[in-house]
């Protein structure tokens, strides 16, 4: 259940970012673009790109947690172990994101 919880929190956080950016008239991130085929009603055209971005982030985060064995009980017995596992998980997730961005840029070129 913990990987599913992590995925839901990560995907939901991208929706929160989209709400704050659109509502506050802030500079939009590159992933927050309107979907052209969705009716232009309120913020509806932004939901699909936001959910796509959130699901990709959650996939990176869950894979990072699995790679660092963060979902095992023994990983959280001491604060030192918890910090180490979190750092490993974060590093793996960030590496996946960097590789994913590079692949996306390679496809565009």
Low-confidence ranges of the chain (pLDDT < 70): 1
Within 10 angstroms of residue 69's Cβ, the number of other Cβ atoms is 12
Sign of CA dihedral 85, 12, 7, 60: negative
Question: Would you state the pLDDT for residue 32?
Answer: 86
Question: Would you state the pLDDT for residue 86?
Answer: 92
What is the C-alpha end-to-end distance of the chain, expressed in Å?
Answer: 40
Question: Would you state the pLDDT for residue 97?
Answer: 92
- pTM for the predicted model, two decimal places: 0.77
The tokens describing 30, both together, are: 């590159």
Site of tokens 């947690």: 65
CB within 8 Å of 91: residues ≥ 6 apart: 64
């Amino acid at each position: 259940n913990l990987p599913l919880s992590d995925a839901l929190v990560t995907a939901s956080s991208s929706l929160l970012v989209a709400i704050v950016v659109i509502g506050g008239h802030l500079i939009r991130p590159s992933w927050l673009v309107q979907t052209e085929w969705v009716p232009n009603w309120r913020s509806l055209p932004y939901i699909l790109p936001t959910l796509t971005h959130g699901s990709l982030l959650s996939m990176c985060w869950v894979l990072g947690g699995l790679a660092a064995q963060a979902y095992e009980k023994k990983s959280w017995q001491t604060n030192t172990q918890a910090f180490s596992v979190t750092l490993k998980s974060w590093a793996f997730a960030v590496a996946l994101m960097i590789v994913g961005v590079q692949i996306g840029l390679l496809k565009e070129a």
